[in-house]
Amino acid sequence: MDEMFRRPNAAQAANPYIPGARILPGRATCSADLGTGVRYHLYPLSELNDLGFFARIEMATDEDSSLRAHPDFNLYVLCLEGSGQVRLGGTGGYGVEHYEFEAGDLVIVPRDVPYCLAGAFKAVALHARTNAFGKAAPHSRFCHPVLDYLSCGAEDGPNGAYLFDPLCSQRLEVPVPYGSVAASPHRADAEALYRNVTPRDPQTGDAANQAQELVNPSVIGARLLRKAVDAPEVYNANAGNKQWAFPLTWTDDLAICIGATHSSISDRDRPFDSHSHPDVEEYKYIISGRGTVTIGDGDPTVETEVYDYEAGDLVILPRGMPHVDAGDYTALYFHTRQSVFGKVPGTSRYPHGAYVYTKPPRPTKEERAALNEPGTYVFMDSRETLNVFVPNPIERIEHNPTGLTHLRPDLFPGEPG
């Protein structure tokens, strides 16, 4: 394994009290064929990470050879190249839903719903360690649960239940949670009632997708967010990015899922403001290009760390650590709705929290207005279109005024001064 990847480098050693990798290099992933028709490049997350699973996946077959479900959280698949299909349900008592997706689209596989993939595409797949409703994935180490539904009938329960570690290198078999689904005589009436009166989650503007969701009306939330429909490209004056943001809601385990393109030309006149996310880690998957992240800018109690990243890398920015990005790259940014330690950030509508450390110059009045003053604590919605400014629990950040560098021999005789 790469020596830089195996041991903390000098930059990370500057803040030894903050554990965890800052970058998981794309070249140091674990490549595996798990027998599903999909090639996985798995990233070695640990139990302190807010994600339980992250992988680059490649598929070039007509049909996924498995039918599986993930209890307790949503699985997210962002298509990078090509196109494909996802089939939901068809067993475990769920009706069949079909969705076609292409590059830029975000597939959301709802918790507990069996699914399989097909097509020729490249994508990233991920899920949080805890879901939006506070349920943790089943185990600190084996945090990727799978229910096997292969060859099961429409009302059958799963054949088996397994827990995997983030690299899928070990499988822990657990008792199957249930056997079969026995439909009641009034099932059709119940489904009709769900379709008519259950509040829907209006994430997507795609009418065909909304109609498909009603096949399983008791399963709330969008299954497919289309970039062309649901995430139009905009200019973010705060970051100097061209970006697109998916409209996530309270049913989602992610607080944000944003694609952004940054330019080093912009860095000269529009450098990032230094900010942190006190309650969650920020993840950034580098789709193309390369750049640099600086940790510690604006906080005198944090030593500076600087990292270069390139396409395929997964950047992990620890909770509460100020950071600034620069370079020429396109990346996928995402935060979970809860931290691995169970802390829920913000509110159900405004889960994306940030604390601001610096206010760099901007060339236009509009762009200056997009920045916040240092010391601002703000919560945003998933698209960063609405801001809630909250009473700031952080008044200032400084070293202890006395320095804590010497003892008091006048108060403690006999002790060295």
* 68/369 Cα distance (integer angstroms): 48
| C-alpha distances in Å from residue 183, one per residue of 95, 147, 180 | 13, 21, 10
Q: Residue 317's beta-bridge partner residues?
A: 282
Cβ-proximal residues to 20 (8 Å cutoff; 6+ apart), any chain:
46, 48, 49, 316, 318
Looking at per-residue pLDDT, the higher value among 108 and 139 belongs to 108
Q: In whole angstroms, what is the distance from residue 46 CA to residue 143 CA? A: 10
Statement: residue 77 has pLDDT above 60: yes
Angle at 270 between CA 317 and CA 272, to 5 degrees: 15
Task: Using pLDDT thresholds of 50, 70 and 90, give the confidence band for residue 4.
Answer: very low
Do residues 378 and 386 lie in contact, with contact meaning Cβ atoms separated by under 8 Å? Answer: no
pTM: 0.94
DSSP codes of every residue in 188-216:
HHHHHHHHHHSPP------HHHHHHHTTS
The pLDDT of residue 38: 84
Where does the chain hold its CATH 2.60.120.10 domain(s)? 34-228, 233-389
From CA 11, how far away is CA 305, in angstroms rounded?
Answer: 5
In this prediction, what percent of the chain has a pLDDT beyond 70? 96
Q: What is the CATH number of domain 34-228?
A: 2.60.120.10
**pLDDT grade for 9, boundaries at 50, 70 and 90:** low
CATH topology for 233-389? Jelly Rolls (2.60.120)
Q: Give the bridge partners for 310, in sequence order.
A: 290
pLDDT digits (tens, 9 = 90+) for 269-312: 888 899 999 999 999 999 999 999 999 999 999 999 999 999 99
